A = this chain, B = another copy of it.
Amino acid sequence: MPIKTIEWIEGKVKIIDQTKLPQKLEYIYCKDVETLREAISSLKIRGAPALGIAAAFGVVLGIKDSSAQDHLSFQKEMEKVIDGLARSRPTAVNLFWSLRRMRDCAEKNKDKEIKEIKAILEKEALQIIKEDKRCNRQIGENGASLIEDGETILTHCNAGALATADYGTALGIIYRAKEKGKKVKVYIDETRPLLQGARLTAWELLREGIEVVLICDNMAGQVMQEGKIDKVLVGADRVAANGDVANKIGTYMLAVLAKENGIPFYVACPFSSIDLSLSSGKAIPIEQRNSSEITNGWGKRIAPQGIKTYNPAFDVTPARYIKGIITEKGIHEKKGDVIIFEKEKYLQR
C-alpha cells in the first residue's frame, strides 16, 4: 500500500521528513504554521500536489489559535498566514490554488461565527486531501491505459506517493498499470542536486516491488539512444494554458531527447496544476535555489571555493515536445503545437 505523505492528526500536520529518506523513515508533527512553512522551504515536504495540501493545512494551523474577536481582525490574520505560505515556494501552482480555495471558503462563510469558520476551514483542508487521493487514483486509471505490458518507463525526480497525499501522479500510473497485471520496468534519473530520484523514487518503487534502475541525469540520453526506453512519464509543478510544463530541472532535456529518439513523452498531474491564467510557460516563475545545493554534496564540499553557480529548481518544457498531459479529467493531447484543455468545460469543476 502506497505510503501516506501528509496527514491531519489531532490538530497536527504529520509529514514524512523527505530529507531523511532513504536512510530513515521519520515523521514530523507540525503543530504551528512556522514549522510547516520551514518544512516546505527546506523540501522536507515537496511535490506540487503535496504542497497544495500542506498549504491548506498551513492555513488551518495559522488561524487555529487566533484570538481575533471580530471578522476584520480574523481576516487580516488569515491574510498574513496565507501571505507567508505563498512565499515559501514560488513555482508549484497547487500551493497558490489551495490558498485561494481556502480564502474563498472563508469568504463564502464570512457571516458565520469565527469559531465555526475555523471548523469549516479544517473541513475544507480535509476535503482537499480527500480529493487529491481520489484524483491520483483517477490519473492512475487514465494513464494506465497508455502503458503496454512489458514496457520500460523513464521518469525524473519524484511524482509518486511522496509528492502527493499518497499513490502519486506519474508513479500512480505505474502502480495502476501493475495492479492491472502489466509488467513495468522503470529507469529513474537521480535528479541532482537534491537527488529526489535516487532517494525518493528509488525507495518508493522498490517498496512497491517494481523493477527500477537508477541512472545519473546525464545518462538518460544514452539509455534512450540504446533503445531501452518505451515512454517518458514525469510530473508537473505548473502547466500553462498552452500546455507548456514547468517541472523539476532536467525535464526539458528529457523531452527534447525523447522527441529526437521517437519516444512518447507524457506529463501526469492533477488538473489543479494547470494554470489557465498563464498563456505560456514563459510566464511561470522559476525558483532559484541556494548555491550550496550544488557545491556541497552530502555534507562535503565538492567544488572549489569561490565558484559561481546557477541553480534553477525547475525548467519549462514547451508543449511541442509533449505527447499528452494526463489529469483526472482525461488525457489532454496535443493539437498542433499546443495542448488543448477545453477551458470552458473544465472550468466548471
Which chain A residues numbered 272 to 329 have a C-beta less than 8 Å away from chain B? Answer: 294-295, 297-304, 306-312, 315-316
Beta-carbon contact of A310 and B223 below 8 Å: yes
Tell whether A252 pairs with B221 under 8 Å between CB atoms, given A212-B307, A214-B308, A307-B202. Answer: yes
A15 in the interface (beta carbon within 8 A): no
Known: A219-B249, A302-B195, A312-B219. A307 touches B256 (CB 8 A): no
Knowing A215-B294, A217-B217, A310-B223, the reply to whether A198 touches B249 (Cβ < 8 A) is no
Q: Which residues of B contact A264 (CB under 8 A)?
A: none
B213 touches A310 (CB 8 A): yes
Contact of A218 among B206, B218, B223, B295 (CB under 8 A): B218
In the bound complex, how far is the Cα of B214 from the Cα of A193, in angstroms? 12
Complex interface: chain B residues within 8 A of A23 (CB): 301
Q: Within A174-212, which residues are at the interface with B (CB < 8 Å)?
A: 187, 189-193, 195, 198-199, 202-203, 206, 211-212
Indicate whether A214 sits within 8 Å of B309 (C-beta atoms), given known contacts A222-B315, A252-B221, A304-B203: yes
- Taking the complex as formed, is A120 at the interface, i.e. its CB lies under 8 A from any CB of chain B? no
Q: Which of A250-266 contact B (CB under 8 A)?
A: 250, 252-253, 256-257, 260
Contacts of A191 in B (CB 8 A): 218
Give the size of the chain A interface in residues (CB under 8 angstroms): 54
Complex Cα distance, B194 from A219, in Å, reads: 13
Cα A190 to Cα B257 with chains together (Å): 20
Question: CA separation between A220 and B219, bound complex, in Å?
Answer: 13
**A298 and B309 contact, Cβ closer than 8 Å, known pairs A192-B217, A315-B225:** no
The chain B residue with its CB closest to the CB of A252 is B221
* Minimum Cβ distance to chain B for residue A6 (Å): 21
Beta-carbon contact of B218 and A189 below 8 Å = yes
CB contacts (< 8 Å) of A298 on chain B: these are: 297-300, 302
Instruction: Report yes or no: A294 in contact with B190, Cβ–Cβ below 8 A.
Output: yes
CB within 8 Å for A221 and B300 given contacts A214-B307, A307-B206, A308-B214 = no
Q: Given the complex of chains A and B, what is the CA–CA distance between A49 and B299 in angstroms? A: 34
Q: Which of A193, A198, A199 has the most CB of B within 10 A?
A: A198
Q: Flag whether A216 is at the interface (Cβ < 8 A).
A: yes
Contacts of A220 in B (CB 8 A): 253
Contact present for B193 and A192 (CB under 8 Å): no
Question: Is A84's beta carbon under 8 Å from chain B?
Answer: no
Tell whether A22 is near chain B: CB-to-CB under 8 Å. Answer: yes
CB-CB < 8 A to A215: which residues of B? 294, 309-311
B-side contacts of A308, CB under 8 Å: 211-214
A189 contacts across to B, CB distance below 8 A: 218
Residue of A23, A260, A316 contacting most chain B CB atoms (<10 Å): A260
Some 28 contacts from A to B, beta carbons below 8 A apart, are A23-B301, A190-B192, A190-B294, A190-B302, A192-B192, A192-B216, A192-B217, A192-B218, A195-B302, A202-B304, A206-B306, A213-B308, A214-B294, A214-B295, A214-B307, A214-B309, A215-B309, A216-B294, A216-B311, A217-B250, A218-B218, A219-B249, A219-B312, A222-B315, A223-B310, A225-B252, A297-B297, A298-B298
List 6 tightest A-B contacts by C-beta distance, closest first: A218-B250, A221-B253, A22-B304, A217-B218, A192-B216, A222-B315
